[in-house]
Chains A and B, each alone.
Chain A
Amino acid sequence: MDEKFIEIKQLYKTFHTKKQTIEVLKGIDLSVGKGDIFGIVGFSGAGKSTLVRCINRLEEPDSGTIRIGEREITALGRAQLNEQRRKIGMIFQQFNLFDSMTVAKNIAYPLKMAGLSAGEAGRRVDEMLSLVGLTQKKDAYPGELSGGQKQRVGIARALANRPDVLLSDEATSALDPQTTLSVLDLLKEINQKLGLTIILITHELEVIRYTCRRMAVMEDGKLLEQGLVKDIFQNPRCGTAKNFIGVYNKFRSDYGEEAK
């Protein structure tokens, strides 16, 4: 496995507002293996969203480099960047589906830009719909779907153009536990089926424990710790990780089952 499929080096980002400047990323170094599911956990405001949004440059980093495979993301021009973005899927907490389009049209949206013929796009849409188990809802509008179904459409849309990477920013945070589980199962399934590399951001540790192989703990713009999920759970070194895992264990022990 290519252990450095995605490599982020010395990433800095500062936001300037009228009142203040906030340094949100303070020298992030991170590498993610090909086909891995990588979790990033941290408290609200740690900079997690900003970090993933830098990966497809929805946010422009001030300095540092991001590489995916052979391509230096931070060096791409406008047109190349748009082309590259078609190979990076993204799913969101609020789903961000287009209400004016049916499920099928939502999923076909990235395909149109990639220049697929109508016939081929149609086949791809059907393939995606069966992958996420929503074939019945093909002609429904997002307004008719439940949260879990919406996120499945979001995943289908993000995967339609066969990206190498999927970015997930709190994709399950607006869902109930059972739906969360089914969406996470879906992510695991496509990770295995398609060999997709997934970066998953969350503030819920159980999501990471359930889904990810490797993880990083983020706090105040820095990555305090990264490694295998099982190692960090067994032996958290930084205070934030200890804190997170302590809370996590407390919750579980209150239900009578101590985390191993």
Chain B
Amino acid sequence: MSLYKYSFWEVLRNSFTAEVWGQVLPAIGETMYMVGVSSLFVLVFGLLLGLVLVMTGKEGLAPCKAVHTVLSAVINCFRSLPQVIIIIVMLPVARALVGKSYGSNACIISLVASCVPLFARLVESSLLELDKGKIEAARAMGSGNLRILFTIMVPETLPSLVRAFTNAVVIVISMTALAGSFGAGGIGYIAVTYGYTRFQHDLLFATIIVLIVIVQAVQMAGDTVSKIILKRRHLI
């Protein structure tokens, strides 16, 4: 149903029909798969790189200028590329790693390449906000660096890390939709092929509704978790 032939309300009403959702539902599954797997990678590697950034920084527990400078520069390189370009750049890498340059798994590689550096920076800024006095107290008690990292720095900044991760996941979701136009499938693919190419605006509306609901849910979940932690610690 095209907006060029029907009124906005007619198209909107049609976007809730079984026919439309028959096409959208499977795409949601695909999108969820890509978002889920990518977010997991982003969490693990982003956290790791973020921790290394903070540890090796000038004010860090184990300052190491060489590691910090190189890592920082590499992260900046990835961060300076727009998402579209990262997707294009990662196509050959995806072909080498998963055998083809289209499909969900290929898309995951682009998502990870783009969002790991982003999340690493978010982790870094969360950890840098931690009161130095706490780290000092742990050092004064004879705690080693790794122990301080995992028993003080990460738990103390957990609410802020949860928020950072929530932001990262929202960006992963929006980028999944973008990757759809490069043959990744999922919601983005539906939006581009039917909504853009074939003027089936009822389908486009359906994808918009799905994206809004998913992002809203992720944001609410993140906010809630972070609030629960803060409440339990009586910090709010």
Contacts and interface: CB of A to CB of B under 8 A. Distances in A.
Interface of A: 56, 58, 81-86, 88, 90, 92, 94, 96-101, 109-110, 113, 140-144, 157, 161
Contact of B158 (A83, A86, A88, A100): A100
B156 interface: yes
A178 to B, nearest CB: 24
A92 B156 contact: no
Interface stretch (B6-14, B81-89, B110-118, B139-147): B139-147
B133 A94 contact: yes
Contacts of B152: 98
B5 interface: no
A82 B140 CA distance: 8
Contacts of A92: 133, 136-137
A85 B232 contact: no
Contacts of A88: 140
Contacts of A144: 234
A140 B233 CA distance: 9
A82 B234 contact: no
B133 A85 contact: no
Contacts of B140: 56, 58, 85, 88, 90
A141 B141 contact: no
B235 interface: yes
A96 B139 contact: no
Contacts of B233: 99-100, 141-143
Contacts of A110: 141-142
A100 B155 contact: yes
B141 A85 contact: yes
Contacts of B156: 98-100
B143 A96 contact: no
Contacts of B143: 82, 109, 113
Contact of B139 (A58, A109, A161): A58
Given A90-B137, A92-B137, A143 B142 contact: no
Contacts of A90: 137, 140-141
6 contacts: A82-B144, A97-B134, A98-B134, A98-B137, A109-B151, A141-B232
Given A100-B158, A113-B147, A85 B139 contact: yes
Interface in B8-40: none
A255 to B, nearest CB: 34
A127 B136 CA distance: 25
Nearest to A87: B142
Nearest to A86: B142
A56 B139 CA distance: 9
Interface in B90-149: 131, 133-134, 136-144, 147
Contacts of A82: 142-144
B158 A113 contact: no
Given A92-B137, A113-B147, A99 B142 contact: no
Nearest to B144: A82
Contact of B133 (A84, A86, A96): A96
